Amino acid sequence: MKWISTLTVASLIVVSGISVKGHAADLPSLTPETVADYVYAVVESHRAFYTSHVVELLEEQGIAKAGGEWHTEKKTVPLPVQVLNETSQRFSSKFNGLRYQLISLWPINVKNSPRDQVDKSSLEGLNVRPERPISRIIKGDAQTYFRAIYPDVAVSQACVSCHNNHPKSPKRDFQVGDIMGGLVIEFPVNTR
């Protein structure tokens, strides 16, 4: 049940307006990096579990396959990237501010391409040094955001097979353990 408390803590910190820099008198100070690490741990755990224990199991047993048309096609479940994107949209619609998304230098769907040159450079940097996420502060007109990009590692053969065999895949030589892209985590921060 450790992941439930992590999810609760991360969600409350990011969503409830508690300042990440420790402006709430009764809460310990948490850095944006720590909050992003919590969110990453929850999102990545859910995705890895879904990939390994749902998608692979259903495909192995011939019950269902993962596919792009899961809304309309029978015996099809959402791809792990679709689960991640759908949950991010649902979460963001209820709690404005926190969002997460998979991006890649080799996306099957162009919506999962880097948004700008900084994202592209961050992904390139993760391929060289994957042990820590690449993070930065983004100042907008009305809000300041913290953005971290974590390496997205192929956790199972299902990931590798899907990407290597997909007709729209620009890269077809992934192996389990390879970095396939990055998981972007972004949320508002106070800079007072």
Work out the percent of the chain whose per-residue pLDDT is above 90.
44
Give the burial string for 39-73 (b: 16+ CB within 10 Å, else e).
bbbbbbebbeebbbebbbebbeeeebbbeeebeee
Q: How many CA atoms lie within 13 A of 82 on its CB side?
A: 13
Going by pLDDT thresholds of 50, 70 and 90, the confidence category of residue 4 is: very low
pLDDT in tens, 161-180: 889 998 999 999 999 999 99
Strands (E), 2-85: 65-66, 76-77
Residues 149 and 106 sit within 8 Å (Cβ to Cβ):
no
Given a cut of 70, whether residue 33 has pLDDT beyond it is yes
Partners of 139 in the β-ladder:
144
pTM of the model: 0.81
- Using pLDDT thresholds of 50, 70 and 90, give the confidence band for residue 27: low
Mean pLDDT of the residues in the chain: 83
Kindly report, residue by residue over 63-116, the tens digit of the pLDDT: 887 777 888 888 888 888 889 988 898 888 777 788 999 999 999 999 999 999
Q: How far is CA 82 from the centre of its chain?
A: 11
Q: Which residues contact 44 (CB under 8 A, 6 or more apart)?
A: 150, 183
